[in-house]
């Protein structure tokens, strides 16, 4: 397309961009796509459709536990929202808080590694990713132990009278948010690092030269240039955090810190109330997709995939 | 030519003046301060990341007996016999088996999709991209629940097979993204050069394209392996009676986790760290040998 | 040499016949016909985007022509796959395979064709470019100049009928570029393979090539030996792109000698050899190269029979060492350029001095008028900036 405009204006024409490395229209792409897309279709798209179908079912009158029939009862959604809106709001609130906290922790860390760490850069990067290799559940349990009654933190806090005698750190909303923040920190740090690393340090220096004030430089130069990393990082943190129930289970106290994931899990696996679980899952997925696409559009980075 | 030199010279003078100004020195002092503050902050963040690892490491040496919560004394027994606790190594074996199989399948399927997306024009591109992106933007609990709904509806018995199916499904997207990025960064001139040097399309792919994309595929496989190995939520929904390592830890958390589980978790971490650090040192050495 | 250019020898000449390449609505190569004689060093010269690289890629088989044909001797290679034609390319940024060492890079083509005695041939090719000692290095460990040589060896080792060079020296610094120009020329003479060299650098083209074709907006403006192109440009584009030119608009008047056409330039008459006049119209652009023009103090006349333009005033003088470049403001508002050799006779002419310009009629050329003098000049500036 660039060619057309250049030809019309007549002036010296820019070099034809590296001519298309022959993109043939053939059957090859379909053969390449087929197995993977069939897999995703069968085990992602079809299940989601099944989930939607299940969400409209109702209990068979007089049937056994776990026996449901399709009645296309869209009112299931209203019932579910009426019953679980608190957990919904709480999930998004916890996930939002954890995302903001993770961003605050990860940004300076990623900035330091990308721009200041010099030859230690790769080593530090490895150290950021490494904890990810010790099981997610184990790490969360470690936090429960560290912050728990027998752990080293609570006695110190009690001794310093920072918390009242009977109070605990775990089994609280604070612990759940802290756990979410911790567990998804690498997901925040890596994309941030990737975009900060790409910034030529001379831009930041030039910013310093033009604005002098480091804060203005950050706001006007560094932050906008690292926006793709911020968008990717917040999404990669927010999405799993909003659906998580491990942290709420291990670090929180039911029902005060129950998140939507806990409800889905218990409705599905314990209560065998499939329609409610399906309704909740579908609502969660829809809400997150709406948020994600809205966010991506606003942030202007469409190139996520 | 003489006219052109004028403004450039003026700009140069301007720059010189600025460099000698005092505000510049003040900024550099501030920067030095900020640099140190940043280093301290980064160190604290890393310490935070490593706190649970340190805890797990210490308590992997705990002579705890059944429930590993209170420190009862140092022992090497857990490390000498990590399979000592019942079921822990069965779960680990299952996890490794699931990880290797689903990584292999996901890497092959994902790489194929990545090549199709990066190298071909076809109808349904947007739909394909959507089908790759949406699973990544879907919380695990939804993926797990929807798959279970499917399996229940079609009365598929839950077990190893259903776990692998699920793991392949959520790993494919990540493989596609990683491999596609690598292909996109390839210089098309390299493949053209191969064709120019008498390599047919197939030979070009085998001798040039594939070796150059290989690091991206390897990275994708590694990512996929760690995602699969560490997955709990989707697995928990679709595993039936099969135990995996994360599931074992979660389930036994209620009764008390054996210290052997700590050993295995921590060993995974140190192994990964060791491999990467050795690779890094070797790379450094090779680089230094060259210059 | 120029005579052989459009001849139709079926021997081993590379022949492009009415070649066209369109990208959508944009015509990158517009009806190009050329014959490159076997064994010659041919340069395709032009500003960026003029279609020269696209032409080269069509010869290599990396781009399919929209229309027209390409022959190598009697062989029609128009739509042959790149790996089926006896043509090799030195790519713009060398495109060395980063995962193979120097030896394997050079051996790549031989191995694909299952040719025996790979080792001997590779070493011979590396010897030709003086790189045998680096055979086991990876491309990333080589300097730009070394990579350039390896790329050359990798192509030459296959003994192609035609070697294509796509701005091969563009990434090198000036000094290295000069050195490699001479080296390329030496190698070409040594191996006797047809070289087709694409460049935007007019000096490079003139230094190395037997024949230069100047391209502009997808068309060949003129081709021939460098001296011919420089001495008698046929279009304003060539006059301005290849070196500098003074182009003064004028109008044919009657009279004159047997082969000299008198042209009235703003009231002053200059003579133009009729075999160097490219237009039969009344409007003529009278051209002369700056170094052919003599600067005389006002009132002094050049030798009888020489062309002369009076009423100039030195507007600017810049001393460049071997010569001084003067900008002379003419009474009709045009600035003409004069290069005066520093031969040591007489001092520099001061700015503001009134001067007369003189030159021999044989150095004058006539171009089609009114096309606007700056054509080509801008293009050259953009080409240099690349």
* Three-class secondary structure of residue C71 per DSSP: strand
Q: How close B193 comes to chain C (CA, Å)?
A: 7
In this complex, the residue of A21, A44, A305 whose CB is nearest that of residue B129 is: A305
What is the per-residue pLDDT for C146? 92
The answer to whether the CB atoms of A19 and C54 lie below 8 A apart is yes
Contact B168 A50 (CB under 8 A): no
Does domain C232-385 bear CATH number 3.40.50.920?
no
Check if A118 contacts B (Cβ < 8 Å).
Answer: no
Asked whether the beta carbons of residue C48 and residue A15 sit closer than 8 angstroms, the reply is yes
- A108 contacts B110? CB cut-off 8 A: no
Closest Cα to residue C66, out of C76, C50, C55?
C55
Is pLDDT above 50 for C380? no
B-side interface with C, Cβ within 8 Å? 1-2, 187, 189-190, 192-200, 203, 207-208, 211-212, 290
C47 touches chain A (CB under 8 A): yes
Q: Phi first, then psi: what are they for B153, rounded to 5°?
A: -60, -40
Indicate yes or no: CB of B41 within 8 angstroms of CB of A40: no
Say whether pLDDT at A23 is over 80: no
- Note the pLDDT tens digit of each residue in C241-259: 988 899 999 998 887 667 8
pLDDT score, position A147: 84
ipTM metric: 0.82
Count of all residues that appear for chain A in the document: 305
Could you tell me if A15 lies within 8 Å of chain C, comparing CB atoms? yes
B242 secondary structure, DSSP code: -
In b/e form, how buried is each residue of B213-251, taking b as 16+ CB within 10 angstroms?
beebbeebbebbbbbbbbbbbbbbbbbeebbbbbbbbbe
pLDDT class for B97, splitting at 50, 70, 90?
very high
Establish, for the pair of chains A and C, how many residue pairs have beta carbons separated by less than 8 Å.
41
The second-level CATH assignment, the architecture, of C2-228 is 3-Layer(aba) Sandwich (3.40)
Residue A135 Cα distances to A40, A224, B32, B159, B230, angstroms:
26, 35, 38, 21, 6
Contact B52 A142 (CB under 8 A): yes
Which of chain C's residues have a Cβ under 8 Å away from the Cβ of B182?
none
Inter-chain touch A133–B272, beta carbons under 8 Å: yes
Residue A287 in contact with partner chain B when CB distance is under 8 A: no
Q: Is C95 on the interface with A (CB under 8 A)?
A: no
Encode pLDDT of A114-129 as tens digits: 888 877 888 888 888 8
Which residues on chain C are in Cβ contact (under 8 Å) with A6?
26, 49
Query: Would the CB atoms of B146 and A48 count as touching at under 8 Å?
Result: yes
Q: How confident is the model at residue C10 (pLDDT cuts 50, 70, 90)?
A: very low
* Alpha-carbon distances, residue B167 vs A134, A136, B163 (angstroms): 19, 16, 6
Q: What does the domain layout of chain C look like in residue ranges?
A: 2-228, 232-385
Please provide the CATH number assigned to the domain covering A87-304: 1.10.3720.10
Distance from CA of A106 to the nearest CA of B (A): 8
Same fold, C2-228 and C232-385: no
- Give the pLDDT mean for C129-148: 91
Q: Do the Cβ atoms of B194 and C97 come within 8 Å?
A: yes
Residue A6 has pLDDT above 80, yes or no: no
pLDDT, tens digit (0-9, with 9 covering 90-100), for C291-329: 999 998 888 888 888 999 999 999 999 888 888 899 999
Q: Which domains occur in chain B, in start order?
A: 29-79 (no CATH), 86-257 (1.10.3720.10)
Nearest by CB: C108 against B189, B197, B212: B197
A293 CB burial (10 A radius; 0-12, 13-18, 19+): middle
Give me the helices (H) in chain B, please.
2-20, 22-59, 77-80, 88-119, 125-136, 140-153, 160-184, 188-196, 201-204, 210-230, 233-238, 245-253, 259-290
* Type and span of the H or E element at A221: none
Q: Within 13 Å of residue B90, how many CA atoms lie on the same side as its CB?
A: 8
Nearest to A21 among B137, B173, B188 (CB): B188
Which one, of B113, B69, B54, B98, lies nearest residue B228 by Cα? B98
Res B180 pLDDT > 70: yes
Strand partners, C246: C288
Whether residue B36 contacts residue A108, with contact meaning beta carbons closer than 8 Å, is answered with: no
pLDDT at site C323: 87
Chain C CB contacts of A5 under 8 Å are none
């Amino acid at each position: 397309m660039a060619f057309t405009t250049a030809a019309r204006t007549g002036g010296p024409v820019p070099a034809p961009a590296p001519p298309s490395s022959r993109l043939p229209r053939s059957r090859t792409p379909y053969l390449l796509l087929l197995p993977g897309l069939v897999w995703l279709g069968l085990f992602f798209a079809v299940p989601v459709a099944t989930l939607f179908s299940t969400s409209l079912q109702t209990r068979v009158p007089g049937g056994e536990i776990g026996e449901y029939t399709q009645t296309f009862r869209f009112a299931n959604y209203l019932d579910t929202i009426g019953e679980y809106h608190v957990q919904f709001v709480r999930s998004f609130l916890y996930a939002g808080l954890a995302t903001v906290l993770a961003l605050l922790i990860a940004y300076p860390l990623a900035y330091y590694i990308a721009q200041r760490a010099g030859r230690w850069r790769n080593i530090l990067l490895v150290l950021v990713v490494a904890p990810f290799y010790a099981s997610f559940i184990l790490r969360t349990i470690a936090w429960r132990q560290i912050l728990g009654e027998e752990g080293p933190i609570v006695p110190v806090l009690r001794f310093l009278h920072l918390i009242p005698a009977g109070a605990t750190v775990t089994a609280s909303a604070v612990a759940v948010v802290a756990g979410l923040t911790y567990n998804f920190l690498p997901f925040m740090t890596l994309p941030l690092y990737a975009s900060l690393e790409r910034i030529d340090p001379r831009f930041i220096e030039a910013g310093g030269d033009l604005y002098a004030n480091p804060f203005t430089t950050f706001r006007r130069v560094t932050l906008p240039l690292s926006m793709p990393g911020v968008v990717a990082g917040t999404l990669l943190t927010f999405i799993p955090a909003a659906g998580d129930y491990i942290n709420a289970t291990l670090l929180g106290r039911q029902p005060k810190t129950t998140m939507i994931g806990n409800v889905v899990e218990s409705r599905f696996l314990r209560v065998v109330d499939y329609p409610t679980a399906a309704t909740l899952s579908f609502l969660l997925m829809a809400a997150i997709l709406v948020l994600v696409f809205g966010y991506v559009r606003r942030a202007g980075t469409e190139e996520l995939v | 030519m003489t006219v052109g030199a004028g403004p450039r010279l003026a700009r140069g003078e301007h720059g010189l003046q600025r460099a000698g100004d005092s505000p510049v020195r003040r900024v550099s002092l501030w920067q030095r301060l900020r640099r140190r503050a940043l280093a301290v902050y980064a160190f604290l963040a890393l310490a935070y990341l490593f706190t649970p690892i340190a805890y797990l490491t210490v308590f992997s040496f705990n002579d705890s007996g059944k429930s590993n919560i209170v420190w009862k004394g140092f022992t090497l027994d857990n490390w000498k016999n990590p399979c000592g606790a019942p079921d822990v190594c069965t779960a680990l074996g299952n996890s490794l088996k699931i990880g290797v199989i689903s990584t292999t399948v996901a890497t092959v399927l994902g790489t194929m999709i990545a090549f199709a997306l990066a190298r071909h024009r076809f109808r349904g591109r947007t739909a394909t991209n959507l089908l790759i992106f949406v699973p990544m933007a879907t919380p695990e609990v939804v993926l797990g629940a929807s798959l279970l709904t499917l399996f229940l509806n079609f009365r598929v018995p839950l077990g190893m097979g259903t776990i692998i199916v699920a793991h392949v499904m959520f790993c494919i997207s990540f493989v596609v993204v990683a491999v596609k990025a690598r292909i996109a960064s390839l210089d098309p001139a390299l493949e053209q050069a191969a064709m120019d040097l008498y390599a047919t399309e197939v030979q070009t792919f085998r001798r040039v394209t594939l070796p150059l994309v290989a690091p991206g595929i390897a990275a994708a496989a590694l990512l996929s392996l760690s995602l699969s190995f560490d997955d709990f939520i989707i697995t928990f929904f679709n595993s039936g009676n099969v135990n995996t390592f994360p599931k074992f830890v979660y389930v036994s958390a209620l009764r008390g986790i054996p210290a052997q589980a700590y050993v295995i978790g921590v060993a995974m971490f140190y192994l990964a760290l060791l491999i990467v650090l050795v690779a890094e040192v070797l790379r450094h050495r090779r680089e230094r040998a060259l210059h | 040499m120029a005579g052989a250019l459009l001849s139709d020898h079926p021997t081993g000449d590379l022949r492009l016949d009415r070649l066209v390449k369109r990208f959508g609505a944009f015509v990158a190569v517009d009806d190009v016909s050329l014959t490159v004689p076997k064994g010659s060093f041919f340069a395709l010269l032009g500003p960026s985007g003029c279609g020269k690289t696209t032409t080269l890629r069509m010869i290599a088989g990396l781009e399919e022509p929209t229309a027209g044909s390409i022959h190598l001797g009697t062989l029609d290679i128009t739509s042959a796959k790149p790996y089926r034609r006896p043509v090799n390319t030195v790519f713009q940024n060398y495109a060395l395979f980063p995962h193979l060492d120097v030896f394997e890079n050079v051996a790549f083509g031989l191995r694909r064709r299952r040719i025996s005695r790979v080792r001997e041939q590779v070493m011979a090719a590396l010897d030709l470019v003086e790189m045998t000692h680096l055979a086991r290095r990876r491309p990333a460990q080589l300097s730009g100049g070394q990579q350039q040589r390896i790329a050359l060896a990798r192509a030459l080792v296959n003994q192609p009928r035609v070697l294509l060079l796509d701005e091969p020296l563009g990434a090198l610094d000036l000094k290295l570029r000069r050195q490699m120009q001479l080296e390329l020329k030496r190698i070409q003479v040594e191996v006797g393979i047809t070289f087709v060299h694409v460049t935007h650098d007019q000096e490079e083209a003139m230094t190395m090539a037997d024949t230069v074709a100047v391209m502009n907006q997808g068309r060949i403006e003129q081709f021939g030996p460098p001296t011919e192109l420089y001495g008698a440009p046929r279009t304003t584009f060539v006059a301005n792109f290849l070196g500098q030119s003074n182009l003064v608009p004028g109008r044919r008047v009657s009279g004159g000698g047997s082969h000299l056409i008198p042209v009235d330039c703003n009231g002053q008459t200059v003579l133009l050899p009729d075999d160097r006049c490219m237009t039969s119209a009344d409007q003529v652009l009278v051209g002369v190269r700056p170094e052919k023009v003599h600067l005389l103090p006002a009132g002094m006349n050049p030798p009888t029979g020489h062309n002369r333009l009076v009423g100039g005033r030195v507007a600017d003088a810049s001393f460049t060492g071997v010569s001084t470049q003067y900008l002379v403001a003419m009474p009709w508002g045009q600035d003409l350029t004069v290069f005066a050799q520093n031969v040591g006779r007489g001092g520099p002419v001061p700015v503001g001095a009134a001067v007369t310009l003189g030159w021999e009629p044989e150095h004058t050329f006539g171009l089609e008028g009114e096309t606007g003098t700056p054509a080509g000049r801008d293009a050259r500036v953009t080409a240099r900036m690349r």
